[in-house]
Amino acid sequence: MIRGVLASSTGNWISLEREKTFLEAHKLSLTQLNHYFKQPVINEHVLMAQRLADEVGDGDIRKQAYTKIINSLTDLVQGYKQVNVG
């Protein structure tokens, strides 16, 4: 009787550990897929901002727009590093 309970408990524990490992791997793969999905979207936004800045007639305003674009990209990269490293 005790052997049956022990075998059943061990089997349940192994099953739970396998399920936990699978779910952790699944979560990691979804996180990576989301990261790679976001990259083209970010690139499109950056290119659109650059194109709009290129169309500005006033040189000073264009330089300000480029500065804002660069600052936004810097903030984005810093935020990405903090989330993924820290």
Domain that holds residue 51: 2-85
Query: Using 50, 70 and 90 to split pLDDT, how confident is the model at 85?
Result: low
Cα 32 from Cα 29, distance rounded (Å): 5
Domain count of the fold of the chain: 1
Cα 77 from Cα 80, distance rounded (Å): 5
Query: Using 50, 70 and 90 to split pLDDT, how confident is the model at 77?
Result: confident
Cα 39 from Cα 23, distance rounded (Å): 25
Which pairs with CB-CB distance under 8 Å and at least 24 residues apart come from 32-41?
Answer: none
Query: What's the pLDDT tens digit per position in 2-61?
Result: 777 778 888 888 888 899 999 999 999 998 888 788 788 888 888 899 999 999 888 899
Would you state the pLDDT for residue 81? Answer: 62
